[in-house]
Amino acid sequence: QFSGFAQSAASCWSVWSVNLCCGLSDCPPLGLETLKIDDFQLHASTMQRYGLGAHRGRLNIQAGLYEDDLYDGGWCAGRNDPLQWFEVDARRLTKFTGVITQGRSSLWSSDWVTSYRVLVSNDSHTWVTLKNGSRDLLFIGNKEKEIPVLNTFPKSVVARYIRINPRSWYSGGSICMRVEILGCPMPDPNNYYHRRNEITTTDNLDFKHHSYKEMRQLMKVVNEMCPNITRIYNIGKSYNGQKLYAIEISDNPGEHELGEPEFRYTAGSHGNEVLGRELLLLLMQFLCQEYLSGNPRIRHLVEETRIHLLPSVNPDGHDKAAEAGSELSGWSLGRWSQDGLDIHHNFPDLNAILWEAESRKWVPRKFHNHHIPIPEWYLSKNATVAMETRALLGWMEKIPFVLGGNLQGGELVVTFSYDRTRPHGVMREATPTPDDPVFRWLAFSYASTHRLMTDAGRRVCHTQDFAKEDGTINGASWHTAAGSMNDFSYLHTNCFELSMYVGCDKFPHESELPEEWENNRESLIVFMEQVHRGIKGVVRDLQGRGIANAIISVEGINHDIRTAADGDYWRLLNPGEYRVTVRAEGYAMSSKVCEVGYAMGATRCSFTLTRSNLSRIKEIMEKFNKQPINLRHPPRRPRQRRLGT
Ligand SMILES: *[C@@H]1O[C@H](CO)[C@@H](O)[C@H](O)[C@H]1NC(C)=O
Ligand SMILES: *[C@@H]1O[C@H](CO)[C@@H](O)[C@H](O)[C@H]1NC(C)=O
Ligand SMILES: *[C@@H]1O[C@H](CO)[C@@H](O)[C@H](O)[C@H]1NC(C)=O
Ligand SMILES: *[C@@H]1O[C@H](CO)[C@@H](O)[C@H](O)[C@H]1NC(C)=O
Ligand SMILES: *[C@@H]1O[C@H](CO)[C@@H](O)[C@H](O)[C@H]1NC(C)=O
């Protein structure tokens, strides 16, 4: 059994080299979807209007919410005749091997191309039509607007420009398409664009897509390479019975150490958003390798933090998307759990409960501003809750997480709570939490260290430009949704949870993984380091025993957190001076000022609590067997008993 792992270990860790020109049959996408191909490389014969110009003719591009939007769902020709074309300038000689097409993304109209010819050119003046013998090749296109259709050429063809010439289209609509081109760039060392676009990585990691089995094997390989700092466990099962594996990375795996914060990354709750899953598998290998090689930053992180990585929250959905493949799974195949639920938005809506209590002025006297209980109905057997959501929920309640990130896909932005607007609020109204400044900082820490998120020159993925908030946005002001993991985590547990949308392309081609790793590596590490910001400490009694469940309040922030089982706590805060108050049942309240500096490392702010007078009286009463106490004449113990012993 073991040799299998050793073998896979050997292949996993073998030197990976960027191979631009692949085998004859499978060339990678040029990058219309990933935006590697820029707007100026796309041209068309005509367009209906600017929002439907050639620059929108990209595979999986999403339409804006409104008709006539500037950001519409594809390229649409200005006339419906067989003379129209859509053109891509690869800017270098390329071996073209195929075309993938979709119809227009739209809620209102139905437009797709049912057949097309393909032409190529080296100068964009003289065009050669792809032929089969003496006849022009006619490719069969789409049957509806969403499912991508791939046509591979019978023979590859070398050229710089490629055109798609629609010959027939759905009779109920117009000529509209979204396109990806498959091609291998020819070696061309003098080409300026080539050099500019090339990004390689020096990290020696396993850059490939992993099936469920391969993911498990890779975890095992890492566990065998770094047995002292890793542990594999699972948090439950998927609908199809696949275990939801997590790997823990910490200097004492398997144990919560007093004062050491717990961090989590999860990915793939939408099974078709595959990049996050691979990024976590890369991160796991990277942390192990760098720890072994003595990288001081990583050593420090691993020694001071208990890190949990759960790369595939929805393995069933991933299987579906992976079966169709990175280019043909479309926008939503495999998004949901096997039983059709959106795992990330399947948590109980505690926002509504808190806001209702607030409007009745119950908070904080009659109703806590944190640790809001899960409603009965949600826990009942017949609530429509995915098994995966229940597993996450159990995990979130069991481990005292302080900070978490869930990796999503299809955009380039970091979102933070709340994800839901208040009832009767305006659509897309920003809905801040009491910890808004901290959340903004956390989001910024990821976005600002990403290679693309805050790049002013970058083009928007689909319709929304997040540049004005530096690549971050309040979830509710993007698209409001109830029951998100982020809001649940904040309102039910101590953990601050954010969503990282790690790329425009939900399921990038394998050849994109080294570059995506480079794009995200620093962000992934920087965000983990933020778990050490703010204050932390232990709340103890006079005997030095930790007090669990003590409430830590910070003046001016209407959201408390609580101590974990051993009495330790972590409170994420931005630099500043804070009055911190601790309350625990049976103890006198205690308060002090704690200062958070700019340097990394949480400020220690511990408390020792004395029993409250009331609880002392209660204790005395219990000692005397709950009998009324006559303080002046305390009852004497019966003599007989003493004689008996
Ligand atoms: C090419 O033409 C031959 C003969 O007419 C036909 O059998 C074959 O299917 C054609 N191939 C394609 C890819 O259209
Ligand atoms: C473009 O130029 C290359 C290299 O000279 C040549 O191999 C190829 O056949 C040309 N393609 C077309 C369509 O003319
Ligand atoms: C694991 O820890 C032991 C004991 O400290 C040490 O001897 C061993 O070299 C470590 N193994 C690795 C792979 O770091
Ligand atoms: C669960 O289903 C039963 C039977 O359909 C129903 O009577 C009951 O009210 C449901 N429970 C909840 C909490 O919705
Ligand atoms: C407890 O009782 C003592 C003595 O009666 C009193 O001085 C003190 O203020 C009380 N403490 C609290 C927290 O009520």
Ligand nearest to the CA of 123: 2
Residues 115 and 133 in one domain: yes
3-state secondary structure at position 174: coil
Which residue shows structure tokens 């700019």?
A: 598
Percent of the chain with pLDDT over 90: 82
State the pLDDT confidence band at 549, using cuts at 50, 70 and 90.
very high
Ligand nearest to the CA of 224: 3
Residue 481 included in any domain = yes
Token representation of residue 330: 């479309």
pLDDT of residue 526: 98
DSSP letter at 611 equals: B
278 contact partners, CB below 8 Å, separation of at least 6: 209, 210, 311, 513, 516
3-state SS, one letter per residue, for 515-565: HHHHHHHHHHHHHHHHHHCCEEEEEEECCCCECCCCEEEECCEEEEEECCC
Residue 216 included in any domain = no
CATH code, domain carrying 357 = 3.40.630.10
556 contact partners, CB below 8 Å, separation of at least 6: 578
Residues 476 and 334 in one domain: yes
Distance CA 61, CA 505 (A): 9
Look at ligand 4, atom 2, and give the residue with the nearest C-alpha.
382
Residues 57 and 108 in one domain: yes
Q: How far is the CA of 176 from the centre of ligand 1 (A)?
A: 27
Give the torsion sign (CA, 614, 358, 344, 312): negative
CATH code, domain carrying 581 = 2.60.40.1120
How far from chain centre, in Å, is Cα 86?
34
Percent of the chain with pLDDT over 70: 91
* 307 strand-pairing partners: 249, 263
The per-residue pLDDT for range 78-107, each reduced to its tens digit, is 999 999 999 999 999 999 999 999 999 998
Residue 633 included in any domain = no
159 CB near ligand 2 (under 6 Å):
yes
CATH code, domain carrying 108 = 2.60.120.260
Residue 631 has pLDDT above 60, yes or no: no
Q: How far is the CA of 487 from the centre of ligand 4 (A)?
A: 26
Token representation of residue 547: 């007090």
Residue 255 included in any domain = yes
Residues 373 and 475 in one domain: yes
Q: How far is the CA of 317 from the centre of ligand 4 (A)?
A: 28
14 CB near ligand 1 (under 6 Å):
no
The per-residue pLDDT for range 557-594, each reduced to its tens digit, is 999 999 999 999 999 999 999 999 999 999 999 999 99
Q: How far is the CA of 614 from the centre of ligand 5 (A)?
A: 9
Residues 182 and 239 in one domain: no
Q: pLDDT higher for 634 or 34?
A: 34
Residue 189 has pLDDT above 80, yes or no: no
Q: Which atom of ligand 1 is nearest to the CA of 154?
A: 13
Check: CB of residue 251 under 8 Å from CB of residue 302: yes
Last residue of a domain, one of 132, 158, 189: 189
* 58 strand-pairing partners: 179
Distance CA 535, CA 607 (A): 12
Q: How far is the CA of 340 from the centre of ligand 4 (A)?
A: 20
Look at ligand 5, atom 11, and give the residue with the nearest C-alpha.
613
Distance CA 366, CA 182 (A): 62
Distance CA 517, CA 530 (A): 20
Give the torsion sign (CA, 407, 413, 414, 418): negative
Cα–Cα distances in angstroms (integers) from residue 217 to residues 168, 238, 254, in the given order: 48, 18, 20
* Closest among 26, 25, 28, 17 to 512, alpha carbons compared: 28
Q: For residue 10, give the H/E element and its range.
A: helix 2-12
Q: For residue 236, give the H/E element and its range.
A: strand 230-237
Check: CB of residue 548 under 8 Å from CB of residue 400: no
If one residue of 87, 88, 89, 93 were mutated to test the ligand 2 pocket, choosing by the most ligand atoms within 8 A of its CB, it would be: 93
Look at ligand 1, atom 10, and give the residue with the nearest C-alpha.
132
Q: Which atom of ligand 5 is nearest to the CA of 588?
A: 13
pLDDT of residue 378: 96
Distance CA 531, CA 572 (A): 7
Look at ligand 2, atom 11, and give the residue with the nearest C-alpha.
159
Strand 306-310 to 262-267 pairing: parallel
The one-letter code for the residue type at 308 is H
* Half-sphere exposure (Cβ direction) of 317: Cα atoms closer than 13 Å: 29
Check: CB of residue 432 under 8 Å from CB of residue 490: no
pLDDT of residue 142: 98
Check: CB of residue 107 under 8 Å from CB of residue 72: no
Check: CB of residue 169 under 8 Å from CB of residue 116: no
Q: Mean pLDDT throughout 248-276?
A: 97
Mean pLDDT of the chain: 91
State the pLDDT confidence band at 458, using cuts at 50, 70 and 90.
confident
Residues 525 and 545 in one domain: no
Token representation of residue 413: 């932005």
Q: Mean pLDDT throughout 68-75?
A: 87
Token representation of residue 36: 């590697």
pLDDT of residue 2: 31
122 CB near ligand 2 (under 6 Å):
yes
* Closest among 483, 481, 492, 447 to 466, alpha carbons compared: 447
How far from chain centre, in Å, is Cα 258?
28
* Closest among 74, 104, 73, 99 to 172, alpha carbons compared: 104
Check: CB of residue 309 under 8 Å from CB of residue 339: no
- Which range among 347-361, 417-431, 515-529 shows the weakest confidence by mean pLDDT? 417-431
Look at ligand 1, atom 9, and give the residue with the nearest C-alpha.
132
The pair phi, psi for residue 604, each rounded to 5°, is: -80, 135
Residue 154 included in any domain = yes
Ligand nearest to the CA of 288: 3
Distance CA 169, CA 141 (A): 9
The pair phi, psi for residue 129, each rounded to 5°, is: -85, 135
The pair phi, psi for residue 5, each rounded to 5°, is: -70, -40
Look at ligand 1, atom 13, and give the residue with the nearest C-alpha.
154
The pair phi, psi for residue 491, each rounded to 5°, is: -90, -25
Q: How far is the CA of 585 from the centre of ligand 5 (A)?
A: 16
Look at ligand 1, atom 7, and give the residue with the nearest C-alpha.
132
Residue 86 included in any domain = yes
Neighbours of 643 (CB within 10 A): 7
3-state secondary structure at position 166: strand
> How many folded domains does the chain comprise?
3
Distance CA 449, CA 442 (A): 11
The per-residue pLDDT for range 102-129, each reduced to its tens digit, is 999 998 899 999 999 999 999 999 999 9
Q: How far is the CA of 593 from the centre of ligand 5 (A)?
A: 23
136 CB near ligand 1 (under 6 Å):
no
Strand 590-596 to 576-583 pairing: antiparallel
Q: Mean pLDDT throughout 284-292?
A: 98
Residues 410 and 488 in one domain: yes
3-state secondary structure at position 288: helix
Q: How far is the CA of 157 from the centre of ligand 1 (A)?
A: 17
Q: pLDDT higher for 67 or 546?
A: 546
The per-residue pLDDT for range 350-409, each reduced to its tens digit, is 999 999 999 999 998 899 999 999 999 999 988 999 999 999 999 999 999 999 999 999
pLDDT of residue 304: 97
pLDDT of residue 428: 81
Q: 432-448 b/e with 16+ CB inside 10 Å = b? A: ebbbbebbbbbbbbbbb
Distance CA 618, CA 622 (A): 6
Strand 113-121 to 149-169 pairing: antiparallel
Residues 8 and 137 in one domain: yes
Residues 567 and 524 in one domain: no
Q: Which atom of ligand 5 is nearest to the CA of 613?
A: 1
Residue 200 included in any domain = no
For the whole model, what pTM was predicted?
Answer: 0.90
Q: How far is the CA of 602 from the centre of ligand 3 (A)?
A: 29
- Which range among 26-30, 175-179, 484-488, 638-642 shows the weakest confidence by mean pLDDT? 638-642
Distance CA 503, CA 453 (A): 9
Say what the alpha-carbon torsion angle 58, 64, 68, 74 is, to the nearest 10 degrees: 10
Residue 641 has pLDDT above 50, yes or no: no
Residue 21 has pLDDT above 50, yes or no: no
State the pLDDT confidence band at 198, using cuts at 50, 70 and 90.
low
Range of the domain at 590: 535-623
Residue 93 included in any domain = yes
Residue 317 has pLDDT above 70, yes or no: yes
Residues 435 and 366 in one domain: yes
* Closest among 510, 507, 527, 402 to 453, alpha carbons compared: 527
311 contact partners, CB below 8 Å, separation of at least 6: 215, 245, 266, 267, 268, 276, 277, 278, 280, 281, 284
Residues 244 and 337 in one domain: yes
Residues 527 and 550 in one domain: no
DSSP letter at 88 equals: E
Check: CB of residue 116 under 8 Å from CB of residue 166: yes
Pocket of ligand 5 (CB under 6 A): 588, 612-613
Token representation of residue 626: 């709950």
Neighbours of 384 (CB within 10 A): 10
pLDDT of residue 20: 38
381 CB near ligand 4 (under 6 Å):
no
3-state secondary structure at position 55: helix
